[in-house]
Amino acid sequence: MKKILKISFALVIAFTLLISFTTNSEAASTSKATVTVNKLEIRNGAGTKYKVVGYLKKGDNITIFSKTKSGWSEVKYNKKKAYVTTKSLKFDAAKTIVAKVGKTTVQADKELVYPQISGLSTKSVQDKINNTLRNHIKNSIKYKQLMLEDLDEWKLEDDGTYPDFAFQWEYLTSYEIAYNKNNTLSIIMYDYRYMGGAHGSTVATTYNFSLSTGNRIVIHDVLKNRNNYLKVKRHAYNTMVSNENFFIGSLNDFDITRDTQFVYADGGMRLVFQEYEVAAYAYGHPKVNIPYTVYK
């Protein structure tokens, strides 16, 4: 039993390191798009009443800095802010397929699943994203193998049988495509393990990618400074304190750090908390929306 506790503790440490892992990346503050009409007007304001200052032709690639709810996208033209109609643009997006990992041993009755993407125009970018996701599942296989090796070391009872708890274990993976717009892809990987007791535990790890470069984007790439972290924390607190599903009573009950998991969402980001971090186990992995205006 002591070995089980040691293994569990090792898994927690390992997952903490996995969550903390960062790469050199660019913040997804811009996106790439392709012009789909023969002649696209560039205007000095978001609307047809504004002056035309230039044109783009079909097939031109442009950088988009933001989009308005009225259907216009902000670009830069002659080093000045300008706008084009969003409906005349095509944004790069990824398609996802399920890739499966074979059984780690004959006792592993469940396969571990993870996403791999296809459909990007640049193969090197696609491969970079897929390799990052594949590395996650390689670590999951290692953790699962630790559990299996621990099973092999349990001794038989006096009557020749294994202890009742010996086969009360499970390790599963799943994933969620949280965002796939504006040249940005967000995926949540869930690693679930059960080693006896009332219930198992699941660790959520988020992966945000720029579809232009394949770089992984972590929360510090977006928030950048302590002031923005505090703004996001206050907004999250005001959201949670008024919701009875959360057990947050003060700002000191939780924190937003470089290790905080997040995904992109329409109009901003969505924080992804771990089990028990801000709510009861039954609430799973609570998610809190943070508008872009909070941290821009």
Task: Give the pLDDT confidence score for residue 53 in this predicted structure.
Answer: 94
Planar angle of CA 209, 78, 293, nearest 5 degrees: 45
What residues contact residue 105 under an 8 Å CB cut-off, 6+ apart?
A: 145, 148
Distance from CA of residue 102 to its chain's centroid?
Answer: 24
CA distance 262 to 206: 6
3-state secondary structure 174-225: EEEEEEEECCEEEEEEEEEEECCCCCCEEEEEEEEEECCCCCECCHHHHHCC
Contact at 8 Å (CB) between 62 and 75? yes
CA nearest 124: which of 212, 207, 23? 212
Q: What is the pLDDT of residues 26-67, one digit of tens each?
A: 344 467 789 999 999 999 999 999 999 999 999 998 888 888
Q: What is the pLDDT of residues 117-157, one digit of tens each?
A: 988 878 899 999 999 999 999 898 888 877 766 665 555 55
Task: Give the pLDDT confidence score for residue 221 in this predicted structure.
Answer: 96
Contact at 8 Å (CB) between 51 and 80? no
pLDDT at 216 over 90: yes
Task: Give the pLDDT confidence score for residue 279 in this predicted structure.
Answer: 84
Helix intervals (H) in the chain:
2-20, 123-153, 219-223, 226-241, 292-295
Distances (CA, A) of 242 to 148, 281, 284, 286, 294: 44, 19, 18, 14, 19
pLDDT at 174 over 50: yes
CA distance 53 to 83: 10
Task: Give the pLDDT confidence score for residue 170 in this predicted structure.
Answer: 81
pLDDT at 25 over 50: no
CB-based burial, 192-207: b 16+ in 10 Å, e otherwise: ebbbeeeeebbbbbbb
Phi and psi at residue 18, to the nearest 5°: -65, -45
CATH homologous superfamily of 218-296 equals Heat-shock cognate protein, ATPase (3.90.640.20)
DSSP 8-state assignment for residue 71 = S
Could you tell me which CATH class the domain 36-91 is placed in? mainly beta
Mean pLDDT of 179-193: 91
Domain 92-217 annotated CATH 3.30.565.40:
yes
Q: What is the pLDDT of residues 233-245, one digit of tens each?
A: 999 999 999 888 8
Enumerate the domain spans of the chain.
36-91, 92-217, 218-296
pLDDT at 267 over 80: yes
CA nearest 216: which of 23, 28, 31? 23
